[in-house]
Structure 1
Amino acid sequence: MASPAIADSTCVCECCGSTFAPRRKGNKDSNRCCSRACGFEVLRRDRQAASEQRTALIQAQRHAARQHVCLNCSVAFEAHPSAKYCSPSCSGRHHDKMRKGPKPERVCRECQRLFTAEYGDKRRAFCSDTCSARNNHRISKGKKRAAEHGVDAGRIDPIAVLERDGWRCHICGGHAPRELRGTFAAEAPEVDHIIPMSRGGRHIESNVACAHRRCNIEKGDGLALEDAEPARRWVHR
């Protein structure tokens, strides 16, 4: 801001307050300071004022970002921008409320019963360790049989294969009731290898299908209609 002129040819220095005659007419800064030293001092003051203004603005923004309302007790408090609770006790109480709320139920992959997963174990797929061990044993059993025959084996869940085929026998096309699974009934559902492992068939999803226990026994190590000799033919549906 230019200093007011005392006369037509004199000005007041913004630094030391003395009067002087401007040396350059038409220059907007020629009437601000009486000397070069005063000019540098005024420039330093302007820069310092601008820096203090920026610092005050940043501090105001940081102060606004640190203002929160506690999610548990709804009390206003100042803390880190990512804070959600005013104290550790409020944080613990809020999590206790969340734990005590209703938890969604899920279906066990082994026994098909509804169960609720415990807190901290959200990815649990089995209702108990017994069902988990039973499922792992069934999968490892198939891989062990494949190793005995010297064929490739993948991780196959028999229940998933039976559900994929809709609990229907791929040999006769009849329904294989789920409740007969694991029994010695003739219509009990079993996982059959389309190309038997004794004939080089692999233990993979594309080579297994649902079959009745009776149909699986009658098929034995036979091959499909187009690949087998007349005495060992069967129809793959």
Structure 2
Amino acid sequence: MADQQSTFKCERCGAEYQPRRNLDGTIGKTKHRVCSVECGRSVYCKKAYAKRGHRPVRIARSCAHCERSFIATQSTNTYCSTSCQEAARRIRANECPEKKEARRARDARRRALKRASTVERIEPIKVFERDGWICHLCGIKTLKSKRGMLHPRAPELEHIIALADGGTHTWGNVACACSSCNRAKGARSFGQLGLGFAA
């Protein structure tokens, strides 16, 4: 039978607190030691480190991105913040275009899985090369150098029958489109190639 006293004293901060109770009003079999999650993390982490013979990691390091000094709380931390980590990841992606395109293809496939019944692994660059880097809506040649940029003639992967209308993410339902046509078309479906949409 658990102790039915109304208040307990926190091991870490010394504050008195009332533990959660069951529906029948009993406290339960849990040993109450701390008043909050923060106190619990502090107490139990210290006990776990002491039991394993470890001490919390605190290493003075220089950030691998901005070179600012910071205190690392894990031995694997090399960045001072998540923003520096994301900035370094973007730089690495720009240095390796193949990885960037692979990530784009993976993200497009993930989005398609949420809406389409049939999904294939599609590489946008191969679709653009198949279509000769020509927009299938207006017939104008897109600019390969503007891929991934906010430019009217940047090539983008476009679904002929929109996913919102039940289209599939397959090689037969995707085509090259310029950014301006793709934005103007939106989520509408046309169902065939070369309609001269923007003409």
Indicate the TM-score class for this superposition, using the shorter chain for normalisation.
Answer: 0.3 to 0.5
TM-score normalised over the length of structure 1: 0.40
Higher-Rg member (1/2) = 1
TM-score normalised over the length of structure 2: 0.47
Q: Which has the higher contact order (CA 8 A, sep 6+)?
A: 2
